[in-house]
Amino acid sequence: MMDNQDFTAANDPFALFQTWLTEAEKTEPADPEAMALATADADGLPNVRMILLKGADERGFVFYTNRGSAKGGELAANPKAALLFYWKSLGRQIRVAAVEPTTEAEADAYFATRHPQSRIGAWASQQSRPLESRAVLEEAVARYTDEFDGREVTRPDYWRGYRVRPVEIEFWQNGEYRLHDRVVFRRAALDGAWTKTRLNP
């Protein structure tokens, strides 16, 4: 495991993220790729929920959702977001702040990897909108199951991916007596160079 001295000496935030995620995959009991996604509506009211990371590289952090959902609507009205990864088993967290849609091809490729019933669910669920009863949802699942019987369950147009392209990434490591180690990477533009600053706990 990387010690705190190595972590604060790192110069590539994406490489450091991959190292920490790999370590979390060995220690977290469930869903090490879980992250909190914060968005805000057109009036600036924040909203946060737990989702799953579906891809990460030097371009950013990817997740998928129904663009008619609350988060989809908020990202359309105010295309900014923040992420938080927290791994209790390691005493670590990572904050990521900035968003752009993924390509249609990327969304198609990921959708094809989902379990067929999860793909049916994407068609059946009008995510975040009022639902009269569980029975109504189950009827929609049955209807789309029949509709796609014997053929590939394709991606609905409203189901898409988003890539959080960060302008800021902060790494936090728990320390004894609250003397935590913190390093933040910032860049002025998405194609700009990173600057690194060590922060007080």
pLDDT category at 98 given cuts 50, 70, 90 is confident
Q: Is the pLDDT of residue 197 over 70?
A: yes
Catalytic residue among 178, 186, 187, 198: 178
pLDDT at 5: 54
Strands (E), the chain: 34-40, 46-52, 55-57, 60-66, 82-87, 92-96, 100-101, 159-164, 168-173, 181-186, 195-199
Strands (E), 67-193: 82-87, 92-96, 100-101, 159-164, 168-173, 181-186
For residues 126 and 68, the answer to whether their CB atoms sit within 8 Å is yes
For the chain, what are the domain ranges?
Answer: 7-114+157-198
Q: What's the whole-number mean pLDDT along residues 22-50?
A: 94
Highest mean pLDDT among 3-12, 97-106, 160-169: 160-169
Q: Is the pLDDT of residue 2 over 50?
A: no
Q: What's the whole-number mean pLDDT along residues 95-117?
A: 88
> Residue 113: how many CB atoms within 10 A of its CB?
9
**Greatest Cα pair distance in the chain:** 60
| Both structure tokens of 41 | 């509506």
List residues forming the annotated binding site. 49-54, 64-65, 71, 93, 110, 114, 118, 127-128, 172, 178-180, 182
Q: Does the active-site annotation cover 178?
A: yes
Lowest mean pLDDT among 36-45, 59-68, 97-106, 157-166: 97-106
pLDDT at 1: 44
pTM score, two decimals?
A: 0.85
Average pLDDT of the residues of the chain: 91
Angle at 63 between CA 104 and CA 125, to 5 degrees: 80
| Both structure tokens of 175 | 């320390």
List residues forming the annotated binding site for FMN. 49-54, 64-65, 71, 93, 127-128, 172, 182
List residues forming the annotated binding site for substrate. 54, 110, 114, 118, 178-180
For residues 54 and 163, the answer to whether their CB atoms sit within 8 Å is no
> Is the Cα torsion angle 28, 1, 187, 107 positive or negative in sign?
negative
In terms of Cα–Cα distance, which of 198, 187, 195 is closest to 60?
Answer: 187
Q: Is the pLDDT of residue 113 over 90?
A: yes
Record: fold of 7-114+157-198: Pnp Oxidase; Chain A (2.30.110)
Q: What's the whole-number mean pLDDT along residues 73-101?
A: 91
